[in-house]
Amino acid sequence: MHARCPRCGLLFEREHGYFAGAMVVSYAIATAVYGGLVVLLWTLLPLEWALLAAALLFLVTVPAIWRYSRVIWMHIDRALDPDDAV
Ligand SMILES: [Zn+2]
């Protein structure tokens, strides 16, 4: 991940530990994605297999969840605490 936006120079990590808040966002997204996968697969498979298959499919989504949880966190943080220091 770049330290600054290559286009506008925005500093991504405003302070040490800045992305700890992204872990909360990531947890919420991951819970929804995994839960959704389990429910979807449970219509086709027994629960034990649905849980296992959902866990395997969930692994594919981890990089996207990691990335977009940071993006969402930055939007939340900048909305709550706009600081024009770039
Ligand atoms: Zn930018």
Average pLDDT on 49-57 reads: 98
Q: Where are the domains of the chain?
A: 20-80
pLDDT of residue 1: 80
Q: Is residue 86 pLDDT above 60, yes or no?
A: no
- Of 34, 54, 35, 57, the C-alpha closest to 46 is 54
Return d(Cα 86, Cα 77) in angstroms, integer. Answer: 14
Return d(Cα 34, Cα 42) in angstroms, integer. Answer: 12
> 54 CA distance to ligand 1 centroid (A)?
35
> 8 CA distance to ligand 1 centroid (A)?
4
> 46 CA distance to ligand 1 centroid (A)?
46
More confidently predicted of 1 and 18? 18
Average pLDDT on 1-14 reads: 88
> 4 CA distance to ligand 1 centroid (A)?
8
